[in-house]
């Protein structure tokens, strides 16, 4: 919280207002439910932090341990106006830095009440969150192992004759069974659906002789996220696809090898892109190579052209090149890595080759 306050001057803000979401959890450990009722952490220089909580959420906040933190709890009752209550605790006309996840209705209420346009607190928090502590890395390693266990059981569910939706329901149950508190997403993209990077599931029946891209992730009890993609093949393989997939594996490895301390984020993207371009697949690699991960599935650093940020120890991100040929097929290979002084280290360890079922 103090480091967030220290970063406020650079934003030109007098206070930070943090509402339920990954930022509140990062700063306080409190995984508050996002409701229409306002829960809000107020951070400002030279003042004690204040957590404004609706009366009916008070027991949940206490259970999350907020009373052990260096902050004042302010409880509001149903008849109170919580926006006015927060504004009373701020300097008149203050420019506030609001949580990037704050609902627009609340942002506008604060803007109107303060008669000043808020700024986003995101840039200040991203600078802190992008470097994971040893404990955070342990949590990401545990999340990686949990989602590895789900991929390791894929042959139990992924069979021809079953629909993507049926397979997806089994996977979702296993995500919870294998060490997650929440299912974040389940992509089971079979046959031509594999050419849609963010296909979810459908009633399409999985056939013999086609790829199935399975990209799955959840949130563990500690709040840290998993995200892992493997591409499976059902039945006898196709030599063209096998060749394309081999290039994808080489592309992912090239990106992994390029991820060294001090290398730019975009250089990791370039490494993957060059391999796929050499294979004639460059135009079908339609997304960035990766994204940071922590208490959110997508956060800084983004592994994308134009991001010249150097990689630093403690960063955690995905390396997930893919190719997507419309109407035909696609594939993606995704691992989460953490940056150490010895280079990138994977938290996912499932076999990376094309798994034939
Ligand atoms: Zn993914
Ligand atoms: Zn991902």
Ligand 2 centroid from CA 64, angstroms? 29
Spell out the residues 6+ positions from residue 260 whose beta carbon is closer than 8 angstroms to its own.
Answer: 311, 343, 344
| Average pLDDT rounded to a whole number, residues 183-196 | 98
Ligand 2 centroid from CA 296, angstroms? 11
Ligand 1 centroid from CA 229, angstroms? 5
CB-count burial class (<10 Å; 0-12, 13-18, 19+) for 238: middle
Ligand 2 centroid from CA 337, angstroms? 11
Ligand 2 centroid from CA 41, angstroms? 30
pLDDT at 310: 98
| Cβ(293)–Cβ(143) below 8 Å | no
Ligand 2 centroid from CA 285, angstroms? 14
| Cβ(75)–Cβ(58) below 8 Å | yes
- pLDDT, averaged across the chain: 97
| Cβ(262)–Cβ(310) below 8 Å | yes
| Average pLDDT rounded to a whole number, residues 114-142 | 95
Ligand 2 centroid from CA 207, angstroms? 26
pLDDT at 93: 85
Please check the confidence at residue 92 and state whether its pLDDT lies above 90. no
218-268 pLDDT tens trace? 999 999 999 999 999 999 999 999 999 999 999 999 999 999 999 999 999
Helices (H), the chain: 2-6, 8-11, 22-28, 58-63, 82-88, 104-114, 122-129, 134-151, 164-177, 239-258, 265-278
Structure tokens at 42: 């107020």
Ligand 1 centroid from CA 111, angstroms? 36
| Cβ(84)–Cβ(61) below 8 Å | no
Ligand 1 centroid from CA 212, angstroms? 14
Dist CA 174 CA 154 (whole Å): 10
Ligand 2 centroid from CA 57, angstroms? 33
pLDDT at 159: 96
| Average pLDDT rounded to a whole number, residues 74-97 | 95
Ligand 2 centroid from CA 17, angstroms? 29
Dist CA 194 CA 202 (whole Å): 12
* pTM of structure: 0.93
Ligand 1 centroid from CA 19, angstroms? 26
Ligand 2 centroid from CA 5, angstroms? 31
Give the ligand whose atoms come closest to the C-alpha of residue 230: 1
Ligand 1 centroid from CA 54, angstroms? 36
pLDDT at 183: 98
Q: What's the sign of the alpha-carbon dihedral 100, 103, 105, 110? A: negative
Ligand 2 centroid from CA 115, angstroms? 39
Ligand 1 centroid from CA 55, angstroms? 38
Give the ligand whose atoms come closest to the C-alpha of residue 332: 1
Ligand 1 centroid from CA 125, angstroms? 23
Give the ligand whose atoms come closest to the C-alpha of residue 186: 1
pLDDT at 66: 96
User: Where residue 318 falls among pLDDT bands split at 50, 70, 90?
Assistant: very high
**3-state SS, residue 243:** helix
Ligand 1 centroid from CA 220, angstroms? 16
Please check the confidence at residue 11 and state whether its pLDDT lies above 90. yes
Give the ligand whose atoms come closest to the C-alpha of residue 296: 2
| Average pLDDT rounded to a whole number, residues 26-51 | 95
Ligand 2 centroid from CA 333, angstroms? 10
pLDDT at 42: 98
Ligand 2 centroid from CA 298, angstroms? 7
Ligand 2 centroid from CA 80, angstroms? 42
């Amino acid at each position: 919280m103090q480091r967030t306050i220290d970063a406020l001057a650079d934003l030109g803000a007098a206070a930070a207002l943090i509402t339920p979401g990954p930022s509140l959890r990062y700063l306080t450990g409190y995984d508050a439910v996002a409701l229409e009722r306002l829960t809000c952490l107020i951070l400002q220089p030279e003042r004690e932090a204040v957590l404004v909580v609706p009366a009916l959420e008070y027991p949940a906040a206490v259970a999350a341990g907020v009373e052990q933190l260096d902050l004042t709890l302010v409880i509001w009752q149903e008849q109170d106006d919580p926006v006015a209550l927060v504004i009373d605790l701020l300097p008149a006309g203050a420019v506030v830095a609001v949580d990037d996840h704050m609902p627009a209705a609340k942002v506008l209420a604060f803007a109107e009440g303060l008669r000043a346009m808020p700024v986003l607190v995101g840039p200040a928090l991203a600078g802190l969150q992008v470097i994971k502590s040893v404990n955070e890395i342990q949590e990401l390693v545990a999340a990686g192992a949990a989602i590895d266990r789900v991929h390791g059981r894929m042959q139990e569910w992924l069979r021809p004759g079953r629909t993507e939706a049926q397979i997806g329901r089994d996977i979702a149950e296993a995500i919870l069974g294998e060490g997650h508190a929440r299912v974040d997403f389940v992509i089971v993209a079979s046959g031509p659906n594999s050419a849609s990077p963010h296909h979810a599931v459908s009633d399409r029946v999985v056939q013999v002789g086609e790829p199935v891209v399975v990209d799955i992730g959840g949130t563990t009890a500690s709040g840290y996220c998993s995200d892992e993609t493997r591409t499976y093949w059902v039945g006898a393989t196709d030599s063209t696809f096998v060749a394309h997939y081999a290039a994808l594996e080489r592309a992912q490895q090239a990106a992994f090898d390029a991820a060294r301390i001090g290398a730019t984020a975009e250089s990791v993207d370039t490494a993957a892109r060059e391999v796929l371009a050499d294979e004639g697949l460059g135009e079908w690699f339609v997304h960035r190579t990766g994204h940071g991960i922590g208490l959110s599935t997508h956060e800084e650093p983004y592994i994308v052209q134009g991001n010249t940020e150097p990689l630093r120890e403690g960063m955690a991100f995905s390396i997930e090149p893919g190719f997507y040929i419309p109407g035909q097929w696609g594939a993606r290979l995704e691992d989460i890595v953490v940056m150490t002084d010895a280079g990138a280290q994977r938290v996912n360890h499932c076999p990376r080759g094309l798994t034939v079922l």
